[in-house]
Structure formats: C-alpha cells, structure tokens
Amino acid sequence: MESIPLVHASLGEQELAAVAEVFASGWPAGQGPRGKALEARLTAQYGVGDAVAVSNCGAALHLALLALGVKPGDEVIVADYTFPAPAHAVRYLDAVPVFADVRPDTGTVDPQAVADLVTARTVGVIAVDTVGIPADYTPLQQIADRHGLFLVEDAACAVGATYQGRQAGALAEVGCLSFHGRKGATSGEGGALLAADAKIAADARLRSSFGIGSIFDISDVVGLPIPEFTEIGYNFKLSDIAAAILQVQLGRIDELLARRAAVAARYGELLADEDLLTVPHVPEDRTHAWQSYMVTLDAGVDRAAVAAELRAQGIGCGHGTWATHVQPVFESKQTCPVSADLFRRNLAIPMHAELSADQAERVVAALRSAVRTHSASSRALGGAA
C-alpha cells in the first residue's frame, strides 16, 4: 500500500529553475543579490522596518536576544509547549528560561501564566505560534508594555497565519520565521528575523556574518577594502541558493496554504464526531498556517499503540511537539501541567500541501480504527473476554 508521509515539501520545476539561475550567476553564497532581494520582499510583505535572512529560525532567535541586550542571569519567559529552540536561545546567552504554561485549546502560551511569572529579573517574553496558530498578542503586548519587557514572536511554524488581521511574524517588535522542510514556504533549511526597528535588524545582520559587512558588497568597491571585525559574530548567513528557492515559494504561498487549509477542513469534517479525540481549535480572531495537524487523544487511548498501528499501514505520525520544561537539558523545577498533558496526548497526523482527499480519508479511517482498538474501554472489554 502507498505510504502517506507525515510531511512533504512542495518543491518543483520553478524552484529548480531559480537554483539554476544562481548557479549561472557565480554567487551561491550568502548576502548576495538573491538574499538581498529576499530581504526586500520580506520587509515589504510584512510591513516591518527591515528583514534579515538567516540560516534557520534558531539563529534568528539567538540574534534577536543579542540585539535586544539579554545578559547572563536575565530571565526570559518562554512558551513551554513548543520545539525547545526559544529556551535554547536563552541559554546560549547564559540567561534563564522561565517556562510559561499554555492554553489547553490552542497550545499557545497563556497570557495569565506569563503575567504570573514576571519578576524583577525578567527582561522579555518569547511567545510561540504553536504548530502554526498565533498566540494572544494583544494581552501579551499589554503585559510587556506594563512591565517594560521586550516581546519576541517565534513564528517558525506560522508563515501565512494571521492574528486580528495582521500577519504572523509581524505581531511583536521582533519576529522569527522558519523555512524548514515542513513549513508552508521552504528552502529545506532557512529562516529570517523581522524587526520593527531597523537598528535591531542591522545588529542581527552584522552578527550573522562574523561581525563584518557583506563580502559581496565589498567585491564591487574599487581598490582593496579590508573589512574590520567590529562584533563577535556567527556564520548564520542564508545562501543565495536557498534565498532564490524562497522567492519562488513566497510567490506560491497563498496556493500552498489554501491546499493545507483544505486538508485541515476535511480532517475536521471527518473527525468531528469522534469521541476519543479532539481536533484543533482555531479562535475566530486568527487563522492557522497548518504546519502540523495535531489531534488530542482521550486520556484513555494508548498513543504509542495508535502510532505503531498507523505506521504499520504506511501512515506517518508523530508525537506533536514538546513540553520544554521536562526536557533534561534544562533541569527545570517548574511545572506546566497543561503543556505536560498535551505532550502526553497530542498526535500529529499527515499534513502537507500534496495530500490528496483520498489520502486524508484513508488517514482518518485508520486513525478512527486505531483509537477505538487502543482505548481503555476496548482494552477492558478485551480483558473481560
């Protein structure tokens, strides 16, 4: 039987043609003409002060915290239910990640949990658009303003999503995007930092290239200019190859998001009456980018057994995302009960723009059968028999 992968990148002939143009140009490295064009497009598309193309979203988060002046010992409140990149970024600077619990219906950070965690050592908040759905930025910004904190939006999963009519990625003073292979727009790997203040972006751009300016720009200067290293920086540049792919992908984003949304709608219809799981909730004031489609299983369902059964039928699935506070690397003593519960019960099923209606129906049929087979009531009946 044909396999149905959990994720699949929508890359084709248009992207290949763009790469061929970069090869012919002689400049495949970073900060060249394709990278500059991508940054200009992102700046205009998101209506921000400036955009910086970087190697991945983790790099964008790291650069954002550097530009915002985070120091060792500072506390940064981070959304708990997510890929742990925000907490890693905080730890890169020897600062302290403080984990905020999340809403049970959306998995996004709970503003009240954030407000309760603010101390004299708190300098900022990193909110996360969990698997593609924006967090509650109006109350979060109010909290940040009240306490003089910065607010960073980790929009890694949310390219194309909206909150109160505004685009995810431009919902805070700094937004960080990902163009990883499972995202709505992808170059395999890649990311961007979007900043309302162009000075923040300038700091990030300089640090993303070892603390010197663009070598491509210098190559056009007559004479022998010798760059000076003015900051300790990193090699976080995005190649012009990836930038060219992203120019094509951003041109296709509406089409690709519409196809993902159609899959999500079909899943919602087919699973609406299933008592053993809950489908994703999308509040009326926002839209979902559907990087992932996660169902929340009833507490009595054996998730591992369900996953094993789906995979045996060639259907990709995964645990969803992480409750960061329980990861050993952070040695946290905090508790985030909602996040921990979602971490135990969420299951990601196939979601990408190439998924057909027939495949979606096959996924749902297999999922329904598996959750019923591996629910507590079914196991009890089996034991009684």
Is the separation of the CB atoms in 57 and 139 below 8 Å? no
Position 294 scores a pLDDT of 98
The pLDDT of residue 383 is above 70: no
Percent of the chain with pLDDT over 90: 92
Position 379 scores a pLDDT of 65
The pLDDT of residue 213 is above 90: no
For the ranges 155-169, 211-225, 265-279, 359-373, the lowest mean pLDDT is seen at 211-225
Q: What is the mean pLDDT of residues 264-290?
A: 98
Position 1 scores a pLDDT of 77
For the ranges 4-13, 95-104, 370-379, the lowest mean pLDDT is seen at 370-379
Position 106 scores a pLDDT of 98
Position 46 scores a pLDDT of 98
Q: What is the mean pLDDT of residues 92-111?
A: 98
Between CA 170 and CA 163 the distance in angstroms is 10
Between CA 241 and CA 18 the distance in angstroms is 8
What is the tens place of the pLDDT at every residue in 70-80? 999 999 999 99
What is the tens place of the pLDDT at every residue in 133-165? 999 999 999 999 999 999 999 999 999 999 999
Q: What is the mean pLDDT of residues 25-44?
A: 95
For the ranges 139-143, 229-233, 310-314, 327-331, the lowest mean pLDDT is seen at 229-233
What is the tens place of the pLDDT at every residue in 279-298? 999 999 999 999 999 999 99
Tell me the pLDDT band of 190, cut-offs 50, 70 and 90: very high
SS (HEC) of the chain: CCCECCCCCCCCHHHHHHHHHHHHHCCCCECCHHHHHHHHHHHHHHCCCEEEEECCHHHHHHHHHHHCCCCCCCEEEEECECCCHHHHHHHHCCCEEEEECECCCCCCECHHHHHHHCCCCEEEEEEECHHHCCCCHHHHHHHHHHHCCEEEEECCCCCCCEECCEECCCCCCEEEEECCCCCCCCCCCCEEEEECCHHHHHHHHHHCECCCCCHHHHCCCCCCCCCCCCCCCCECECEHHHHHHHHHHHHCHHHHHHHHHHHHHHHHHHHCCCCCEECCCCCCCEECCCCCEEEEECCCCCHHHHHHHHHHCCECCECCCCEHHHCHHHCCCCCCHHHHHHHHHEEEECCCCCCCHHHHHHHHHHHHHHHHHCCHHHHHHHHHC
The pLDDT of residue 307 is above 80: yes
Tell me the pLDDT band of 380, cut-offs 50, 70 and 90: low
What is the tens place of the pLDDT at every residue in 53-90? 999 999 999 999 999 999 999 999 999 999 999 999 99
Q: What is the mean pLDDT of residues 326-334?
A: 98
The pLDDT of residue 325 is above 70: yes
The whole-model pTM stands at: 0.96
Tell me the pLDDT band of 385, cut-offs 50, 70 and 90: very low
Is the separation of the CB atoms in 347 and 36 below 8 Å? no
Between CA 83 and CA 339 the distance in angstroms is 12
The pLDDT of residue 9 is above 70: yes
Between CA 350 and CA 348 the distance in angstroms is 7
The more confidently predicted of residues 272 and 220 is 272
